[in-house]
Chain A
Amino acid sequence: MAEATWEKPQSTAQPTGAGGNERLKFLIGGILILAAVGFLIINGTLSGARYYITVDELVGNPAYVGQTVRVAGAVDGATINFDSQNLVITFETANVPLDYDNLATALHEALLDTNGKRLSVRVEGQPMPDLLQHEAQAIMTGTMGEDGIFHATELLLKCPTRFEEAQPGQAIVEPGA
């Protein structure tokens, strides 16, 4: 009967040990799978790893020239230039620390500091992102060229004023008082 093969009564279902041969097969199969995935992860990590650094660490550091890195900076709105004919975006960013209490304040201060290091960025082949504006945080992946310009292939932008707690400001204070 077919029934016996798909559901045995509980009482007769004594755990029977798999033959040593089968067990070995399971073991070898398992080890092979783990080894293959381990190899994939290590390989992928080595080739996909990007140091995530700041503008200060990147600018003027020959160690990073030609290497693919990820860098975070504060966008200076006055320097944004978009050549829409050729889809070339250029702008400058100032140093923002990777850890901060409040992103909006950190970006604001980064751009007030006029003596700090600046990183010139060039992005090609992308439309102008809606979020690229003054005091946005740019997280860029790309390589530092010999020319001192950072050639970004991926550009993520964050505008903290839109996302974090904004305040009504002093404007509402006077008439109500």
Chain B
Amino acid sequence: MLAEFGSVSLLLALVAAVYAIIAAVIGARRQSERLILSARNAALLTCPLLIAASLTLLIALVSGEYQLSYVWSTSDPNTPLFFRITALWGSQKGSILFWSTLMSVFAAAALLINWRSQRRLMPYVTAYMMATLAFFLVLNIFYENPFERWWLYEGSDVSWQATGLTDSQQSDITRALGGIGIESSEQISAQVAGITCVDSNRASEIKQVLQGIGIISVVETSPSGCVGQSIFPPEGGFSPTATRLAETAQGLNPLLRHFGMIIHPPMLYLGFVGFVIPFAFAMAALASGDLSTNWIKATRRWTLVAWLFLSLGLILGGRWAYDVLGWGGYWGWDPVENAAFLPWLVGTAFLHSVMIQEKRGMLKVWNMFLVIGTFSAVIFGTFATRSGLIDSVHSFARSEIGFPMFFFWSGITLVSVGLILWRWNRGELKDDHRFMNLLSRETLFVLNNVVFLLLFVVIFWGSFGAPVVSELFLDTNITLGTDYFYQVTPALFIALYVLMGIAPLSAWGATSLSRLGRSMLIPGALTAGVLVLILLSGMTDPGVLVGYGVVTLAGFVAANEIYRGVSARMRGLGENPLQAFLSLFARNRRRYGGYTIHIGVTIIGIGVIGSTLFQQETQRTLSVGESLDIGGYQMTYLGFQPGQVADDGRIMDIATVAVSRNNQTLAEIRPRRDFYPGSEGMNSSTIAGAYSTVENDFYVLLVDWEPITARSATFKVYINPLINLVWWGGLILIIGTLVAAWPAETVPAALRERRFTGKQVKARARA
């Protein structure tokens, strides 16, 4: 019942989405209000339908409907409720459904919020959003359907001798089988090849075809029990009993049972899905010919929201890796991580350069490319990581969706670039101003864009470009290791921080060097102070000094700008510091939210440099009562508790160690090994224990212990300096983004900005 309901909801959502596309496009062409409204209603309808489908799967997961193969493979009777819920996005099929649902929610919100103000764009926005949604629904229905059920049926096997076949015979077989619609022969063993579980007519057909091309040793076995998953039952198929299925169910992958993994995927999806909206508006602007800044005004906040979720997803992913994967790090330059970072880079470039278009009417084409590039990177990332294009530790199943995704990705990219070129060619995307001066805010913003895009190119090449190019053209398989990224990216990140320090101080049009120098005075002096402190602490490495110098300078510039704003209000309006601070932020959320983000990024930078360059590690076997020394700390092995059973059935072996410094005990931490008795394959996971302070993390892994008595145990210990700044900086970044994206009060945005910016400029001139 549940399975049917879910499938039907999905199918109806697809029908509604396709109808909305057609009605919106025809309605816009014929200027038919009725059709356009009808398209809007159909588009809105996808939202409740998909929520219903998701809820159906959720109910199936919570109530343990193991006849559904998705439920069977992501939960078992021991799985606690919490992980039953999160299993909704725990595997490919469910996560595509979840993704489509989030997207329809975003689409509905955009339709409801922007409908009145952007009438001319909305039909096309509807069409583009629904086209994207329809594509994911097609994947969800025809390729990766979470509502498939297990069926038992009688099927025959056909097998033949595989040893001694020549290459040409092999290709004959492939071709002959392809001719009757069988993709590739499923291997049975090294000596025998065959096709299993087909009905008896099909079996004789295969046998005939094979004998027809001269393969004589074909054996057809009589029908026996087969298991398969599909939406509709195979001929003569029946459902297996629920209890038997429950006994063999798989349970959620142990690695995914962590809070970071639970919220990290939805956040990333929200970020990915959110970029659909700016993309749809940009495309609508191109299609409708309304190329004013309307589309930018309508999507500014949507872009920030998407960016917020994407940033949060990236930070939580790092935190998950740090807590669960047990290698003492949080970012490994793995292709899948990079695939999520790439849209972030283009999206961040877009967030900056869009300001130039709003203020100066420049970079119109460039912004179009960036917003389309962001969405294209989102789809490419999804394609690359889910199709098995690249080998990565993040093993999603290799699946059939690779080809359709690639098709969709190249389709949207080609169409959008084509539209831009068409409008450009007609002279409709001409800039109002030109670049006049190297030291102007617009030039510095463009430089910032260039650096973001260069980072994109460099990381793209390292993760996808080099492996794919070498395979296609050089007939070898070359991958680039982490040392490539450590060699190439730091210079670009440093350039980014330098620009982050200078750009906020520059003015539109032109800035004189002396004025720039004057506004750099205070932040520069503070940075020099920090560098002296670092030197005094005994660190003389020039690379480290440069790194910390540019990173802290950027932070001080942002903090100083906030300080100046606050003190100007205190002087001019007689407000107290808190009042001044709050109203400063309230009056110009975007600007000061942006500075807050810069401070967050600075703090992340300090944490990244510290934890990357100054990590210490050691390993030792300790008997109970023995200690080891590392980085001024002492760690003592206190005891062991074997076989502790947790609620979800996992068995924990826990060691207790004490961390002390200068003979003072700071904390007791409990690194452990979890064992999952029910799971096949990977069935244990090493969970680190950590003692966290601002200064560092004392991070301990339980490696091994003496059987039974555990009188001695082996530990691997990391000291990760400043690593917590990465998470705290992340938090500040999130707060800053929330400030910048928060809905404004009723004063029309354009008016308020004009008034306020005017005051700003005057205030600065006075200062």
Contacts and interface: CB of A to CB of B under 8 A. Distances in A.
A52 B467 contact: yes
Nearest to A162: B681
B703 A26 contact: no
A174 B685 CA distance: 34
A15 B479 contact: no
Nearest to B686: A130
- Interface range for B: 35 or more
Interface stretch (A58-66, A144-152, A153-161): A153-161
Nearest to B150: A168
A98 to B, nearest CB: 6
B484 interface: yes
B621 interface: yes
A87 interface: yes
A109 interface: yes
Given A40-B488, A82-B704, A70 B398 contact: no
Contact of B361 (A13, A51, A141, A157): A13
B483 interface: yes
Given A49-B480, A98-B477, A113-B190, A72 B458 contact: no
A51 B395 CA distance: 21
B484 A168 contact: no
Contacts of B487: 40, 43-44, 47-48
Contact of B681 (A5, A26, A159, A171): A159
A16 B397 contact: no
A172 B436 contact: no
A15 B458 contact: no
Contacts of A173: 152, 225, 227, 240
A109 B188 CA distance: 9
Contacts of A177: 152, 225
Contacts of B431: 15
A9 B762 CA distance: 19
Contacts of B765: 2
Contacts of A87: 619, 703, 714, 716
A112 interface: yes
A62 B682 CA distance: 35
A102 B561 CA distance: 57
A154 B481 contact: yes
Contact of B438 (A29, A105, A170): A29
Given A52-B478, A52-B479, A37 B492 contact: yes
Contacts of B398: 103, 164
A48 B435 contact: no
Nearest to B249: A168
A97 to B, nearest CB: 11
A72 B391 contact: yes
A176 B248 contact: no
Interface stretch (B22-30, B314-322, B753-761): B753-761
B432 A162 contact: no
A135 B248 CA distance: 20
Interface string B183-206: 010110110000000000000000
A41 B455 CA distance: 11
Interface string B467-498: 10000000011111111110110011000000
B329 interface: no
B393 A158 contact: yes
Interface in A6-29: 6-8, 10, 13, 15-18, 22, 25-26, 29
A176 B184 contact: no
Given A25-B438, A87-B714, A162 B679 contact: yes
A154 B464 CA distance: 19
Contact of B435 (A2, A18, A103, A130): A18
Interface in A25-47: 25-26, 29, 33, 36-37, 40-41, 43-45, 47
A141 B746 CA distance: 59
Given A25-B438, A105-B187, 17 more contacts: A5-B507, A8-B433, A15-B431, A16-B434, A17-B434, A22-B435, A37-B457, A49-B480, A50-B478, A70-B481, A85-B714, A101-B184, A133-B681, A162-B679, A168-B244, A170-B227, A176-B241
10 contacts: A10-B432, A16-B436, A25-B438, A33-B450, A33-B454, A48-B484, A50-B479, A160-B681, A168-B244, A169-B227
Report the 9 A-B pairs with minimum CB-CB distance, sorted nearest first: A48-B484, A84-B704, A52-B477, A173-B225, A161-B681, A162-B681, A44-B488, A2-B761, A127-B703
